[in-house]
Structure 1
Amino acid sequence: MTNNLITSYFVCLLLLGAVSAAAQKGTAVFKAGFSEKDITPDIGMEAPGNYGKRYHTSFNDRCKVRAVVFDDGDKRVALVGLDLLFVTRDVVQAARTEIHKRSGIEPEAIMIGASHSHSSGPIGMSEPGDYDNASPLVQDLVENKSITSDPGYTQHLKHQIVEAVVHADANRIDAKLAVGVGHEDKVSFNRRLRMKNGLTFSHPGVGNPDIIDYAGPIDPDVGTVGVWDLHDNLLGVIVNFSNHATTNPGGISANWIGPMERTLRRATGHAALPVVFLQGACGDITQVDNLAKHANPSSREWWEMVGGRVGAEAYKTLLLVRRGAARNIPLDYRQKVWHVDRRVPAPEKVKRAMNLVVRDPQEVGSTEWVFAKETVLLDALLKNKPQAEVEVQSIQVGPIAFVSNPAEYFVQYGLDIKKGSNFPFTFVVELANGCVGYVPTEEAFSKHGGGYETRLTSYSNLEITAGTQFANEGIRLTNEMTPGDIPEPPPAPEFKTPWSYGNVAPEVD
C-alpha cells in the first residue's frame, strides 16, 4: 500500500503502547525519549551550499541536533535530524560507534539525516583521505577554493549528535504513538522544466517563454508522527517533508525548519516541543516556482511561508488523530552498505579543465571556472576513491518505515519507494548516513534530460543507475520486515433508534 492509496488528504491513526517479547510476559512496553542539542556555527565560519568560499556574517536562528529513541522492550532505534547541509560518512560512523559504546544501541539501528540547510554550519564536500598525495594545485583548490569542514566544528557536531541520542535514550518513558499524513502542495515545486529545445533545464527562470512545463512531480506528503506519554502530554513530533532548505532568511539559520518547529510549538502550547525533522526526497524540489505569475517573495517571507505551512499541516494532522486501544508497535531495522562506481570525466575534458583552473576566474567566467575546478577535483578523487561507499537503511516503528538514502535524491525515486513498500506509512529520508551528492533519475541523463543536477562534479558523480539501486534496496529491506498493526477507532455503536428530534417530515407552517 502507499500513502496515496490510503488517503486523499489525511490519514491519521493512533498506536497506543506496544506488545513485544516483554509484553508476552505481562508487561506492555513501548518507550520513547527525545532530546535536542545545539550545533549553531559561529560568525565567521564558512557558510555551506555553494562550490566556493562564503562566510557567515550574521545570525538569524539556532541550528540543532534533534533525536528520538524508541524502545519496544526488545530493540531500540534512534532517528536523528540535523540542521546541516549534509552529514559525511566519517561523522556518521564515528557518532554511531560512540553512541553504541555509551548506550548499547546498535549502529545499524541509528539513522542520521541532514535537513540540507544552506544556512548552517561548515561542512565540506571532501572526506579524510579523498585527496591524499594530490598535487599542490589540487590541494590548493580543495583548501582555498572549495568549502571545507572546520575541524573544531566537526568535533563539536559529532559530540552533540552523540549527546542528543544518549540523552534521548536516558529520557525514555512509557509512551503512545500516532502517525498521519498531511497534504501541502503550495510551497514546493519541481525546479526542472521541459524546454522547447527538447532538453530539461534547472531553474530556467520565471517568465522564460521557452518553458513548456515541469519535468517532474513533487511529493506533497507531510509525514507526521506524534508521541505522547500515558497522561496525554505531547513528548515530541517527527516531521518528514520533501523540499530543499534553501529559503535562506539571512545569516545562520536552520532554514525553514526553524519556523516549522516554531509553528508546532505555538500551536500545541508546548514552548520546548522537540521536533525531529527528516528531509524527504527533494533533489529536484525547492520553494521556487519557475511558472509563477508574480514576483518571488523575499527570503524571509519564503522562510516563514514554507516553515509555517508545513508546521501548520503537521499540527492539523495531529488534531485528527483518533485514540484507540493498545496495539503492537514492533521495532526493527535493516541496512545494506556497498560500493557504487563513480562516473569518469573524459580525458579531453580533464585536460581542458586543467588549462582553465590555472587562469583567473574573471577571465574564464565564474561558472565555467567552477565546473572546471570540479572536473580537476573529481579526476584527483578517482585516483584514491574510484567508488563511493553508500548505505541504504530501513527503520521500522510499528506500521511506519523510514527508508534512507545518502543523496540529494530525485523525488520520483521517493514516490517509487512509497509505492513499492508494503508498509502503510513509508517516509523516505534523504542525505542520511553520508552524502554522495545529487542522484538524478536515469531519465535525467537521457537525450531529453540535462540540467544542473546531472553535471559531473567532485560532489555528484555516481553511476547513472545509482538512484535505481538505492530505491530497489530500500524497498527490498523494508519489505523484509512485517508492519505493525494498523489500529482502528472504536466501532460505531449498534443502531437502536433514530434521533427523535430529526426523524420528522418537513414543516412548512
Structure 2
Amino acid sequence: MTNSKLLLGKSRIDITPDKDTILGGATISGKIRVDYIKDPLYANTVVFVRNERKMAVITLDLLMITRKYVELIRHELQRRWGFDPDAVMIHATQNHKAPSLGHFKISEDYKGIPKELDWLRGGDERYHPYAVERIISSVEAALDSLEPVKIGCGSGVEGRLAFNRRMVMKDGSISMPSAAGPAAQMSRYVEGPMDPDVGVVAFQGESAPISALLLHYTCHPVHQLGQFFISADWPGALANEMKASYGENCVSVVLNGACGNINPWDPYADQPLNDAAVMGNRLAVSVNRVIGDISFRDDAVLDWKIVHIDIPLRKVNEGELEAARRYIADNPEPGWLNDVFLDDKWVYASGMLDLHEQVERNPIYRYEIQVLRIGEAALVGLPGEPFSEGGLAIKLASPSPYTIIAHNTQFAGYIPTKEAFLRGGYETTTSNWSKFVPDALDRIVEASIETLKQVFE
C-alpha cells in the first residue's frame, strides 16, 4: 500500500507461557515454576508505514531478550515483508514475573552447565520457539490492520511511583530498599535521581478516537517479587487501564526507560506500595491528562538509524577468578538447597568463568544504539539496564522535545554511572549482568545524543 499519509497497524497477541515454564527473574537461582497465572503476557506491536517506508515497535511482557533472538526476528521481518532490520525495535519490559527469550545469566558458549540444567543459563528452551512464532504473528496481524492515523505527542510528570534504589548508608556502603519497609534509619541519602517523565505518543484512527498509544515510564517491574505467578506487572496494568479508557481495540505499547537503578518501593515509606495494578491506575491518570491536551496532525516523518560503539569488557579479578575455579573443581555440579533452589555460589562461580572466557575471546562488546523518529517523537533503544542518570542526560540534550528511552532492547547487563563504581553495590559487581568498564554509560550517552541529532537533522 502506497500512501503519503501516516498509516498504523497494531496488534496485541498473547505470549503467556505454560505454568511449568521456568522463570528467570528470581533473586535466587532455582527451577522456578509458577503457582498461577494472574494476568496474561503479550507482544504489543505497532507498525508504521509512510511512502512505502516501514517501521515496527514491539514490546514484550518478558524479563529479557538476547541479541540472538532480536536478530532472528529482525531477519524474519526483512525476509517476509521487507522491513529494514534497523527499523525494527524489540523491547522486553524487564518484567520479573515472566520468562526470558534467550539465555542471559550464563551464555550458550559456556560448556560447564549440565544439559539437564540448561535452564540455569536464564531461559527455557521449550518456550523460545513459541514466543518467536507469536511475535512474528503479531507483526503480520499489525500489517493486516493498517489504517490512516493522526499523531499527537505530549508528556507529563509522575514522581510518586518510582524511586532510586541505591541508598548510601551511614558507613558509605550501598543498600537496596525492598517492599519490606524502610532502610532510611541506617542511610544518609539516596544516591541519584529517578525519571518522572510520562511520555505519550497517541494515534487517532478512523475506527477509534485513540487507536494506539506509545507510552513511557521508568521503573523496574518487580512488584511482589518473592511470589511466583505470571503477570505483566505495571506495564500490563497500564495497558489494561488504557483499554478501559479507550476501548478493547486500543493497543498500548509501553516502553520502560533507563531503570537500572529504579524500583517501585519508596525507601522512606512505612509500607511501600507493592501493587502493580495501583501503579498502572495512577500512571493512567497522568496519561489521560496528557492526552486531553494533545493536538493531532495527520502526517509524520519516519526515520531511523542504528550505530554501534565498542565498549571494553571488565577483566575478572584474578583472586575472584581463582576462587571460582577452585569452587567448580571441588563442586563439579551444583548442590540443591531444596527441590526448587540451587546453591547460588555454584551459579555465580560458573558465571564468573563464563565472563572470563568471553573477555579472553573478545575483550570488546559491540553495543547497539537505535534511534527511531516518528514525527516529533524520538525512541532511543538501549541494550541492557542503563542507570536513570543516562536516560535523563539523553533527554536533556535531545533535539526532540518528546524523547522516549527504551532500555533492554537486548540483554547487556547493568550500566551504572562512573560514580556508582566508587561505592560498589549489586549493580557494579563484575558478572555477566555487570560487565562493562566504568565509563560505558558516558560513551552510550554521547553516542545516543549524536545519533539523535543526525536523525533529526
Q: Tell me the TM-score normalized by structure 1.
A: 0.81
Aligned residue identity for 2:22: E
Residues of 2 paired with 1:94 and 1:431: CA distance? 16
Query: Alignment partner for residue 352 of structure 1, among 323, 330, 334?
Result: 323
Q: Which moved more, 1:60-69 or 1:229-238?
A: 229-238
Q: Which moved more, 1:329-338 or 1:375-384?
A: 375-384
Q: Name the CA shift for 1:396/1:153 in 2 (closer, same or farther; >3 Å).
A: same
User: How far off its partner does 1:466 sit?
Assistant: 1.7
Asked if residue 49 in structure 1 is aligned to residue 22 in structure 2, the reply is no
Secondary structure of the structure 2 residue equivalent to 1:477: helix
Aligned residue identity for 1:277: V
Q: Which moved more, 1:85-94 or 1:195-204?
A: 195-204
Deviation string, structure 1 residues 418-447 (Cα, Å, up to 9, x no partner): 011111111111001x1111110111112x
Secondary structure of the structure 1 residue equivalent to 2:74: helix
User: How far off its partner does 1:479 sit?
Assistant: 0.5
Q: Is the 8 A contact 1:69 1:76 kept in 2?
A: yes
Query: Alignment partner for residue 258 of structure 2, among 281, 302, 316?
Result: 281
Residues of 2 paired with 1:427 and 1:176: CA distance? 19
Asked if residue 106 in structure 1 is aligned to residue 77 in structure 2, the reply is no
5 Å matches for 1:235-250?
235-248=211-224, 250=228
Structure 2 match to 1:14:
none
Residues of 1 paired with 2:159 and 2:14: CA distance? 31
Structure 1 match to 2:99:
121
Q: Is the 8 A contact 1:195 1:201 kept in 2?
A: yes
Q: Is the 8 A contact 1:41 1:122 kept in 2?
A: no
Deviation string, structure 1 residues 214-246 (Cα, Å, up to 9, x no partner): 111111111111111146532111111100011
Aligned residue identity for 1:37: I
Structure 2 match to 1:71:
49
Q: Name the CA shift for 1:166/1:472 in 2 (closer, same or farther; >3 Å).
A: farther
Asked if residue 469 in structure 1 is aligned to residue 443 in structure 2, the reply is yes
Query: Alignment partner for residue 332 of structure 1, among 303, 313, 319?
Result: 303
Q: Is the 8 A contact 1:49 1:119 kept in 2?
A: yes
Aligned residue identity for 1:40: T
Say which one has the larger Rg. Answer: 1
Structure 1 match to 2:141:
167
Residues of 2 paired with 1:143 and 1:376: CA distance? 17
Structure 2 match to 1:455:
429
Asked if residue 442 in structure 1 is aligned to residue 413 in structure 2, the reply is no
Q: Is the 8 A contact 1:244 1:286 kept in 2?
A: yes
Which stretches in structure 2 are left out of the alignment for 5+ residues?
A: none
User: How far off its partner does 1:404 sit?
Assistant: 1.1
Residues of 1 paired with 2:136 and 2:208: CA distance? 29
Asked if residue 212 in structure 1 is aligned to residue 188 in structure 2, the reply is yes
Aligned residue identity for 2:38: N
Structure 2 match to 1:422:
399
Residues of 1 paired with 2:353 and 2:298: CA distance? 56
5 Å matches for 1:253-264?
253-264=231-242
Q: Is the 8 A contact 1:129 1:384 kept in 2?
A: no
Q: Is the 8 A contact 1:68 1:168 kept in 2?
A: yes
Residues of 2 paired with 1:78 and 1:171: CA distance? 13
Q: Which moved more, 1:376-385 or 1:167-176?
A: 376-385
5 Å matches for 1:121-200?
121-123=99-101, 124-125=103-104, 129-131=108-110, 134=111, 138-140=112-114, 143=117, 146-200=120-174
User: How far off its partner does 1:386 sit?
Assistant: 3.5
Secondary structure of the structure 2 residue equivalent to 1:481: helix
Query: Alignment partner for residue 97 of structure 1, among 50, 70, 75?
Result: 75
Residues of 2 paired with 1:141 and 1:459: CA distance? 22
Which stretches in structure 1 are left out of the alignment for 5+ residues?
A: 1-21, 484-509
Q: Is the 8 A contact 2:23 2:33 kept in 1?
A: yes
Query: Alignment partner for residue 268 of structure 2, among 270, 291, 303?
Result: 291
Structure 2 match to 1:411:
388
Structure 2 match to 1:86:
64
Structure 2 match to 1:308:
281
CA-based RMSD of the aligned residues comes to 2.4
Q: Name the CA shift for 1:108/1:319 in 2 (closer, same or farther; >3 Å).
A: same
Q: Name the CA shift for 1:397/1:156 in 2 (closer, same or farther; >3 Å).
A: same
Aligned residue identity for 1:284: N
Residues of 1 paired with 2:177 and 2:238: CA distance? 25
Aligned residue identity for 2:188: I
Q: How many residues align?
A: 441
Q: Is the 8 A contact 2:156 2:199 kept in 1?
A: yes
Query: Alignment partner for residue 265 of structure 1, among 243, 252, 275?
Result: 243
Q: Is the 8 A contact 2:33 2:228 kept in 1?
A: no
Secondary structure of the structure 1 residue equivalent to 2:211: strand
User: How far off its partner does 1:144 sit?
Assistant: 5.5
Residues of 1 paired with 2:54 and 2:79: CA distance? 14
Aligned residue identity for 1:379: H
Query: Alignment partner for residue 396 of structure 1, among 373, 385, 409?
Result: 373
User: How far off its partner does 1:367 sit?
Assistant: 6.2
User: How far off its partner does 1:146 sit?
Assistant: 2.4
Residues of 2 paired with 1:144 and 1:229: CA distance? 46
Secondary structure of the structure 1 residue equivalent to 2:231: coil
Residues of 2 paired with 1:250 and 1:275: CA distance? 26
Residues of 1 paired with 2:183 and 2:315: CA distance? 36
Residues of 2 paired with 1:37 and 1:200: CA distance? 40
Deviation string, structure 1 residues 180-239 (Cα, Å, up to 9, x no partner): 112111110000012222333333861453201111111111111111114653211111
Structure 2 match to 1:58:
36
Q: Is the 8 A contact 2:107 2:121 kept in 1?
A: no
Aligned residue identity for 1:154: H
Residues of 2 paired with 1:374 and 1:291: CA distance? 34
